[in-house]
């Protein structure tokens, strides 16, 4: 669909990645807890804008690589599959601790937007993720339209999930702080899912 290979795995992988708590997730939950829905949505938009910058940079490089050196692009696909499995292993090994307490004064939604944008832009792992992730779902004849569709999917699903965090997730996160077993289980399941995606996609790229 939309020229995206393994479309079902593409959608599922995006959802799994969203479920993995990261710096952006913490920024969104913090903003919501401190100043409510408006501040939370400001942080959501900041995170999405930062991700979009890295996506555009990654897509520009991948588009040039696909046309200039198809074999090297094939290597990138194998790298992407390995990167997914490596991320999964890290989640299986990573200790899960309680979230740190936040102590910040009340601020405007615009302030939280800038904070979340800075958090996203100062995390180069985001660009590495997109460089590794997108090639896994691109066929030999993929066009700029396919790349644009992939970015749109990531942005839309990220927005829906993160907006859900703002409206519902903050209350859930507060409950999970008192349920370490649930957080450990969620993290380990995400790790297993990423390893499974990596193996499936590597097999499909042979």
pLDDT of residue 158: 93
Q: How many Å apart are CA 64 and CA 73, to the nearest integer?
A: 10
- According to DSSP H, which parts of the chain are helical? 7-19, 23-68, 70-93, 109-121, 125-133, 144-164, 170-177, 180-204
Phi then psi dihedrals of residue 94, to 5 deg: -75, 130
Contact 33, 101 (CB under 8 A): no
Please, is 26 exposed, middle or buried when counting C-beta atoms within 10 Å of its C-beta (0-12, 13-18, 19+)?
A: middle
CA nearest neighbour of 104 among 176, 24, 35, 21: 35
pLDDT of residue 102: 45
pLDDT of residue 163: 92
pLDDT of residue 61: 78
Q: At CB < 8 A and 24+ separation, what contacts does 79-82 make?
A: 79/132, 79/135, 80/131, 80/132, 80/133, 80/134, 80/135, 80/136, 80/201, 81/136, 81/198, 81/199, 81/201, 81/202, 81/205, 82/198, 82/202
Give me the residues of the chain with pLDDT under 50, please. Answer: 98, 100-104
């Amino acid at each position: 669909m939309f020229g995206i290979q393994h479309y079902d795995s593409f959608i599922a992988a995006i959802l799994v990645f969203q479920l993995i708590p990261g710096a952006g997730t913490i920024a969104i939950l913090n903003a919501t807890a401190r100043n409510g829905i408006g501040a939370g949505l400001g942080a959501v938009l900041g995170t999405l804008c930062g991700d979009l910058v890295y996506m555009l940079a990654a897509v520009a490089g991948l588009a040039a690589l696909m046309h200039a050196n198809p074999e090297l692009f094939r290597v990138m696909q194998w790298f992407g599959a390995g990167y997914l499995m490596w991320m999964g292993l890290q989640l299986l090994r990573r200790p899960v601790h309680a979230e740190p307490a936040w102590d910040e004064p009340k601020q405007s939604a615009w302030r939280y937007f800038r904070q979340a944008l800075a958090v996203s832009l100062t995390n180069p792992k985001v660009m590495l993720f997109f460089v590794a992730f997108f090639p896994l779902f691109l066929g030999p004849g993929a066009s700029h339209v396919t790349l644009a569709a992939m970015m749109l999917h990531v942005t839309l699903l990220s927005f829906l999930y993160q907006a859900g965090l703002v409206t519902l997730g903050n209350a859930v996160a507060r409950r999970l702080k008192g349920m370490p077993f649930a957080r450990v289980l969620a993290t380990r399941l995400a790790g297993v899912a990423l390893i499974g995606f990596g193996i499936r996609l590597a097999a499909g790229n042979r």
